[in-house]
Structure 1
Amino acid sequence: MKKRIIILGSVVVVVIVLWSAAWLALSGVVKQNIDALALADGVSAPRITCGTLDIGGFPFRFDVECTTAQIATGDIAIDVPDIRASIRVYAPTHLLASATGPVQLTDTFTGSRNAVDWSALDASIRLDNWRIARASVSGKDVVWSDALMGEVIIAEAPLAEVHLFDIPEQHDADRHLAALSGYVRAEDIVYPAITLSDTNAEIQLELTGLPDDVRNWGDPNLLPAMAANGGTLNIVAIRGTDAASTLDASGALKLDPQGQIDGQITIASSGVAERIGPLLAEPWRTLVLGTPGADGAYSNQLNFRAGGIYSGLVPIATLPPLY
């Protein structure tokens, strides 16, 4: 019996030593991959740098903490005080993350500077064979401000959340294509510029023609491939409501072989045109929302074709190709 206990104890010690060595090696790989993000050009791929980077969580998690983080993409610089991410050893395809605000967003081209703050911001991403099963971001007490000169609140909401879900029945295993359903919701939005208060907004989208392996989403030929595969952005519903107005929109958009947006969006509203004057002056307001009917409600259809946006048949803007 004593010999068996000694053997069992020796096995346990060996396993602990081996796992400790493996954890240290894997944590080193994680750190190297994160450090490599700082070498990106910030144009074709975002450049991410950390003031300090710590890896912890031994023995059953890999916890990453990046403090004084900066993300650079094109002319946009995003400064985040603290980002934390965690992967559990027994659930390696499920990432949990959180961030501390306020985030500073600076556009070096326009000179604008905005801040976004929150009391809590949490994210969760779960993969299934490198296909997104579900991804969610939820923020509480979100406040968006103009931070160029002082702090002027642009909008705020006690709850804002974004969710992405895989659509299993639309997965094409032979062509390695996936489809995602997206849902965005914000409660009790306050937007002083157009006197919005206690406004609720929901957006439901479906995107088809995506590669089913998220590792291929960084391919520079992603958009041409999606166009060739018939990828479509279905705007199932966009809805905003408050005590005095409603806005509903739906439609479908895709890319033509030249990389130009093709499709249409139908808009119906009530009480919106009278409130967005500071943001959308005439004649653009009528060109976007349409004219009121006998009941005072507005309706219109925006058409996208051949690099242009049309209000019905009237051209109102041009759009560059996306590739």
Structure 2
Amino acid sequence: MKKRIIILGGIVLTLVLAWTGAWFFFAGQLRQQIEVLALADGETAPQLVCTDLAIGGFPFRFDAECSNAALVSGDLLVQIPYMRVSAMVYRPNHLLGSLTGPLAISDAFTGARQEVDWTDSEASLRLENWRIARFSILANAVTWTDQLFGDTLIASAGHIEAHLLDMPEQHDPQTGRAALAGYLRADDISAPGIDLSQTNAEVELEVTALPDDIRNWGLGPMLPDWQQAGGKLRIVGIRANDGGADLDASGELALDAQGYPTGTLSINSLGVAERIGPYIEEPWRTLVLGVPGEDGRHKNQLNFAGGGLSSGLVPIAALAPLF
């Protein structure tokens, strides 16, 4: 009996030591992969530098904590005080994250400096066979301020949430293409610069023909690849309402072989033209929103084709190619 206990204890000790070694090995690999991001040039690939990087969570979790992070992409610099990503060892395809604000955003080309802050936030990413199954971000009491000359509030919202959901019925394993449905909701929006307050808004989108394996994202130019695969951006609905005015828009957009947007966007609004009157002069306001009908609603269709934007048959602007 005593011998069996000793053997059992030896087996348990061996398993504990083996798991401890495995955990620290994978923790080291994780640290190495994060540190590689600091070697990017910030031009062809974003560069992420952490002043203090810690990997914890032993024994059943992996926590990657990055303090005083700096994310560089081209002329854009985003400074993040603290962020954390966690995953259970038995569920590595489900990541949980959080950010501590404020985010300081600066543009070296324009000289712009802005700040985004919130009281609390959380994020979640679940993958299935390296395909996004669900990605969600939630934040409360969000403020967006301009920092160039003092603190000027650009906009605020009581609650913001954004979700990306896999559309399995549109997954094509033969071509390696997937589709995502997107949903964004913002409650109690205020924007003093355009006299906007207590506004609720939501956006529903569908994007087709995306590479299904996220490990392939960024290996080559995304937009030309998406265009060649026949990708489409379906705007199921853009809706906003502040009690006195409302807007509803929908449409479908794609890219042509030259990288120009092509498609249509239909807009139906009430009270919006009057609200934005002091900020957008005629005839641009009518060209975008349309002429009001007998019920007072403005209806219009914007057309994207041949490198231009038109209101019906009336040209409005020339557009730059996206690739």
Q: Which runs of 5+ in 2 are unaligned?
A: none
- Which residue is 1:107 aligned to? 107
Report the CA distance between 1:278 and its aligned residue: 4.6
Distance 1:243 1:49 in 2: 45
Q: Distance in 2 between matches of 1:258 and 1:208?
A: 19
Residue matched to 1:2 = 2
Deviates more, 1:205-214 or 1:23-32: 23-32
**Whole-angstrom distance in 2 between the partners of 1:253 and 1:8:** 65
Deviation at 1:254, TM superposition (A): 0.6
| 1:244 corresponds to | 244
Alignment of 1:237-276 (within 5 A): 237-276=237-276
Task: Give distance in 2, aligned partners of 1:279 and 1:73.
Answer: 32
SS of the aligned residue for 1:12 comes to helix
SS class of match (2:274): coil
User: Could you say what the CA RMSD is over the residues aligned between the two structures, in angstroms?
Assistant: 1.1
- Correspondence for 1:197: 197
Q: After the TM superposition, which of the residue ranges 299-308 and 213-222 deviates more from structure 2?
A: 213-222
Distance 1:278 1:42, change over 3 A: farther
Superposition map of 1:60-71 within 5 A: 60-71=60-71
Give the whole-Å Cα distance in 1 for the aligned partners of 2:148 and 2:229.
43
> Aligned partners of 1:106 and 1:282: how far apart in 2?
33
Q: Is the 8 A contact 1:273 1:289 kept in 2?
A: yes
Amino acid at match of 1:242: D
Amino acid at match of 1:224: P
- Structure 1 residue 83 corresponds to structure 2 residue 88: no
| Structure 1 CA distance for aligned equivalents of residues 49 and 19 of structure 2 | 30
TM-score normalised to structure 1 length = 0.97
- Which secondary structure does the structure 1 equivalent of 2:41 belong to? coil
What amino acid does structure 1 have at the position aligned with 2:152?
A: V
SS at match of 1:291: coil
1:201 alignment partner AA: A
Does residue 50 in structure 1 map to residue 50 in structure 2?
yes
| Equivalent position amino acid for 1:289 in 2 | L
> 2:297 is matched with which residue?
297
Distance 2:281 2:69 in 1: 39
Query: How far, CA to CA, are the matches of 1:200 and 1:279 in structure 2?
Result: 21
Q: How far 1:299 sits from its partner (Å)?
A: 1.2
How many Å apart are 1:152 and its aligned residue?
Answer: 1.3
CA distance in 1, matches of 2:38, 2:265: 40
Distance in 1 between residues matched to 2:237 and 2:131, nearest whole Å = 25
Letter in 2 for 1:169: E
Letter in 2 for 1:133: A
> 1:282, 1:30 → 2: CA distance?
56
Which residue of the partner structure matches residue 319 of structure 1?
Answer: 319
Moved more, 32-41 or 216-225: 216-225
**How much has 1:227 moved relative to structure 2?**
1.4
C-alpha displacement at 1:201, in angstroms?
A: 0.2
- Tell me the residue number matched to 1:182: 182
Once residues 73 and 312 of structure 1 are traced to their aligned partners in structure 2, the CA distance between those partners, rounded to angstroms, is: 37
Runs of 4+, deviation exceeding 6 Å: none
User: Which one-letter code corresponds to 1:164 in the other structure?
Assistant: L
Instruction: Work out the number of aligned pairs and report it.
Output: 323
Q: Structure 1, unaligned stretches of length 5 or more?
A: none
**Secondary structure at the counterpart of residue 41 of structure 1:** coil
Matched, 1:218 2:225: no
Deviations along 1:246-304, one digit per CA (max 9) or x if unpaired, are 00000000111222111010011111111123543333222211121122211111111
**For the structure 1 residues 287 and 123, does the alpha-carbon distance in structure 2 shift closer, same or farther, using more than 3 Å as the test?**
same
Q: Which amino acid aligns with 1:16?
A: V
Is 1:94–2:94 an aligned residue pair?
Answer: yes
Counterpart residue type for residue 102 of structure 2: P
SS in 1 for 2:295: coil
Displacement of 1:121: 1.4
- The residue number in structure 1 matching 2:36 is 36
Tell me which residue corresponds to 2:137.
Answer: 137
Which residues of 2 match residues 102-181 of structure 1 at below 5 A?
102-181=102-181
Using the size of structure 2 for normalisation, the TM-score is 0.97
Aligned in 2, Cα 1:105/1:279: closer, same or farther, shift over 3 Å?
A: farther
